[in-house]
Structure 1
Amino acid sequence: MSKEKLAIRGGAVGLNIPNIITLCRFALIPLFLVLYLNGYSIEALATVLLSGLTDILDGYIARRSGQITVTGIMLDPLADKLMMLAIVTALLVKGEIPWQAVAVMAFREIGMIASSAFFHFRGLKTVPANVLGKATTIVYYGSIMLLLLEQPGGLALLWIGIAMSFLTTAVYFLKFRNLNRAS
C-alpha cells in the first residue's frame, strides 16, 4: 500500500502501541543526558541506539498494523529532533564539538519543528521521510557513535551530516510545496 493511501486514524489523541513506543523515546532523552554527562559514554550510546531502534520499531508497527495517527505523525519527528538536540548540546558541554555545529543544527531542527507545527495546524499535508533523510540520519548516528566513543572522524562526519540535513530540508520543502499545490 502506498504511503499516500495509508489511513490516518485516531484523531488528535491516537494513543496506541506505536505512539506509546514513541513516548518512551522522550523518556530516553533525560536518561541519555544523565548517563553521558556523568561519564557513562557506552551506556549513553546504548541509550541513543535504543532510541533509534524504537524509532524504527514504532514506524514499522504503525505502518504494518494500520495504526498511523495524527499524534504519531507529530510526535515521532519531534522525539527524533529533541534527542538530536540533547546529544549535540551534551557534546558541546563536554567540549567534543564546537558551538557553531550546535548553532547550525539547532537552527535547522527548531525551524523544522516550528514549520511542521505551523503547517500541521493550517491543515496542510506533510511529506514522509525519504531516502536522503534516512541517509542523513545514518550519517548523524555514525558521527554520534564516533564522538561518544571519542574516536577520530566524528566531527568531520557530523559536518557532513549537517550539510546533508540542509539538502534534505530543501528537498522536503520542494516536495511539500508541490504536494500542497496539487491538493
Structure 2
Amino acid sequence: MNLPNAVTLFRFILIPVYLTLFFSDIPFKMQWAFGVLLLAGLTDVVDGWLARKNKQVTQLGIMLDPLADKLMMLAVFLSLLVSHRISIFAAIAIFVRDLGMIIASAFFHFQGKLTVPANLMGKLTTVLYYVALSLLMFDHPSAGEFLWGVIIFSFITSLIYLFQFKLINQRSM
C-alpha cells in the first residue's frame, strides 16, 4: 500500500464522519460537516499529487480515487435529500449517474479492462459539485439552479469518459 492510496482510503473514513456531523445536534454542525467535506476534497488533491510526483500511480488508485469521490458525494447528496435541501429528482439524477460510474468502473476493472484516470472535465465536475454543495448547505437562493447545471455537466462528462474508455481499450487489444 503506497501513501497516495492510504490517503485515498482515509477519504472513505471521512464519509461516516461527515454524516455523523451533518445529522448531529452540535452547534455549527453545518460548518463542521462542510469542513469535513473540504478535508475530503483536499485529500483528493493531495493523493493525486503524491501519486504523480512519486510515480506511484496504480490501477488500484485509479479505481479507488473516483470511488472515494463518488461515495462521498452520494453520502452528501443523500444527507441533503433527507434534510429536504434538494429534490428527489435531483437526487435520483445524481445517484443514477454516480452509481452507474461506480458499477461500470468496477465491472470493467474486474474484467481486466483499462480504466480511464480522472481528466480535466472530471476534476472540473468535482469542483463544481463542491461549489453546488456549499451553496446548498448554506441555503443560497440560486443553489438549486446551479445544482441542475452541474448535474447536466456531469452527464456530459460521463459520456466523455465512456468514449475515452472505449478508445483506450480498443488500443490495448
Distance in 2 (CA, whole Å) between partners of 1:131 and 1:62 is 17
Distance in 1 (CA, whole Å) between partners of 2:148 and 2:79 is 17
Structure 2 counterpart of 1:20, one-letter code: A
Structure 1 residue aligned with 2:100: 111
Q: How far has the Cα of 1:42 moved from its partner?
A: 0.4
Structure 2 residue aligned with 1:51: 40
- Misfit runs of 4+, over 4 Å: none
Distance in 2 (CA, whole Å) between partners of 1:132 and 1:72 is 19
Identity value in percent:
47
1:22-53: CA deviation from partner (whole Å, max 9, x where unpaired): 11101111111111112500010110000000
Q: Flag structure 2 segments of 5+ consecutive residues without an equivalent.
A: none
Q: CA RMSD in A?
A: 1.1
Distance in 1 (CA, whole Å) between partners of 2:159 and 2:63 is 20
TM-score with structure 1 setting the length: 0.89
Structure 2 counterpart of 1:152, one-letter code: P
Q: How far has the Cα of 1:137 moved from its partner?
A: 1.2
1:40-94: CA deviation from partner (whole Å, max 9, x where unpaired): 0001011000000000000100110011222212211110000000000000111
Distance in 2 (CA, whole Å) between partners of 1:71 and 1:133 is 18
Distance in 2 (CA, whole Å) between partners of 1:70 and 1:179 is 14
Distance in 1 (CA, whole Å) between partners of 2:163 and 2:119 is 13
Distance in 2 (CA, whole Å) between partners of 1:23 and 1:180 is 27
TM-score with structure 2 setting the length: 0.94
Distance in 1 (CA, whole Å) between partners of 2:11 and 2:118 is 18
Tell me whether 127-136 or 105-114 shows the greater mean CA deviation: 127-136
Given the alignment of the two structures, is residue 34 of structure 1 paired with residue 23 of structure 2, yes or no? Answer: no
Distance in 1 (CA, whole Å) between partners of 2:159 and 2:51 is 27
Tell me whether 69-78 or 15-24 shows the greater mean CA deviation: 69-78
Structure 2 residue aligned with 1:155: 144
1:104-143: CA deviation from partner (whole Å, max 9, x where unpaired): 1111111111110111111111122222212211111101
Aligned residues: 169
